[in-house]
């Protein structure tokens, strides 16, 4: 078995209301949300998960966002340059996960075909989340469902947040780590006790295209993973590696 390491590269953060991810039970509470890219180290291919964005881009849309580091700085700390990257697995095509994709000029981008087709023509209520200009010229390889990327790194089709969300399962020294393919924090996997008393084992993200699908996707991750890596969890911001 090939063992890999997952290194978080945080780019910016913002503070958001907690209640959407905690099943609407924590009104008035706030948590930090972080935008990452993830470096999967351990093979002769340089693989990233997501392409990230900047605080300035986020502020232009939502009037908030705190800079952590530039893409160049984050990659440098992991011993990389953008031109070293061979493969980028895009969990989904919301703009903040793909905005810096053009920096990876040598990379092939793995995207679910269903995600691509939806993002090219989203419904009016979701047009703010997608920006076709950010991904239309990328070197894309379409994925349909689950796929082995390399030994020890697999794509899991986990729809619901978006139609073509994909999580990334990585064999690590601590067991199977799964980077979620949908925007979430620990609160989504550890819902409040008053919610759990009603049989709710995970809290569906508040932003979704299909609430049943995203619930089932989260449950599948919870059942399979030895180590869950929620896509926006602030816990990883100062870690050199998460698994």
Q: Per residue in 203-232, pLDDT tens? A: 888 889 999 999 999 999 999 999 999 999
Lowest-pLDDT choice from 5-9, 12-16, 17-21: 17-21
Does pLDDT of 21 surpass 70? no
Quick: pLDDT tens for 87-118.
Answer: 999 999 999 999 999 999 999 999 999 999 99
Q: Is residue 92 part of a domain?
A: yes
Helix (H) or strand (E) holding 62: helix 55-62
pTM of the predicted protein model: 0.95
Handedness of CA 6, 134, 72, 105 (dihedral sign): positive
Name the DSSP letter for residue 23.
T
The CATH number of whichever domain residue 38 belongs to comes to: 3.60.15.10
Quick one: pLDDT band at residue 74, thresholds 50, 70, 90?
very high
Q: Is residue 241 part of a domain?
A: no
Would you tell me how many other CB atoms lie within 10 Å of the CB of residue 72?
Answer: 12
67 or 20: which leads in pLDDT: 67
Q: Is residue 144 part of a domain?
A: yes
Structural domain of 189: 5-236
Q: Is residue 51 part of a domain?
A: yes
Write down the residue that tokens 């896509």 correspond to: 231
Q: Is residue 243 part of a domain?
A: no
Quick one: pLDDT band at residue 23, thresholds 50, 70, 90?
low
pLDDT score at 20: 63
Most confident of the following: 19-23, 121-125, 142-146? 142-146
Quick: pLDDT tens for 127-176.
Answer: 999 999 999 999 999 999 999 999 999 999 999 999 999 999 999 999 99
Closest CA to 39 of 65, 78, 72, 1: 78
Q: Is residue 242 part of a domain?
A: no
Strand order in the sheet with 147-150: 147-150, 153-157, 166-172, 175-179, 227-229
Does pLDDT of 22 surpass 70? no
99 or 15: which leads in pLDDT: 99
Count: domains in the chain: 1
Q: Is residue 109 part of a domain?
A: yes
Quick: pLDDT tens for 170-194.
Answer: 999 999 999 999 999 998 898 777 6
pLDDT score at 192: 72
Q: Is residue 94 part of a domain?
A: yes
Buried b (16+ CB within 10 A) or exposed e, 74-108: bbeebebebeebebbbbbbbbbbbbbbbebbeebe
pLDDT score at 196: 62
Quick one: pLDDT band at residue 243, thresholds 50, 70, 90?
confident
């Amino acid at each position: 078995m090939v063992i890999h390491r997952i290194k978080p590269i945080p780019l910016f953060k913002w503070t958001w209301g907690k209640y959407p991810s905690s099943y609407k039970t924590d009104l008035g509470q706030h948590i930090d949300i972080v935008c990452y890219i993830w470096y999967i180290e351990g093979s002769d291919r340089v693989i990233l998960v997501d392409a990230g964005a900047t605080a300035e881009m986020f502020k232009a849309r939502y009037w908030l966002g705190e800079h952590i580091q530039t893409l160049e700085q984050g990659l440098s700390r992991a011993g990389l340059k953008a031109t070293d990257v061979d493969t980028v697995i895009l969990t989904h095509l919301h703009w903040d996960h793909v905005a810096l994709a053009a920096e990876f000029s040598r990379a092939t981008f793995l995207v679910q075909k269903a995600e691509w087709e939806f993002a090219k023509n989203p419904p009016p209520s979701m047009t703010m989340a997608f920006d076709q200009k950010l991904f239309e010229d990328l070197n894309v390889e379409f994925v349909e469902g689950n796929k082995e990327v390399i030994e020890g790194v697999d794509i899991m089709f986990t729809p619901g947040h978006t139609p073509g969300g994909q999580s990334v399962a990585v064999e690590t020294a601590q067991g199977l780590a799964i980077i979620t393919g949908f925007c979430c924090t620990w609160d989504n996997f550890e819902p409040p006790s008053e919610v759990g008393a009603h049989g709710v084992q995970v809290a569906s993200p508040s932003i979704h295209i299909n609430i049943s699908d995203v619930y089932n996707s989260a449950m599948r991750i919870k059942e399979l993973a030895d180590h869950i890596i929620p896509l926006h969890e602030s816990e990883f911001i100062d870690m050199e590696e998460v698994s």
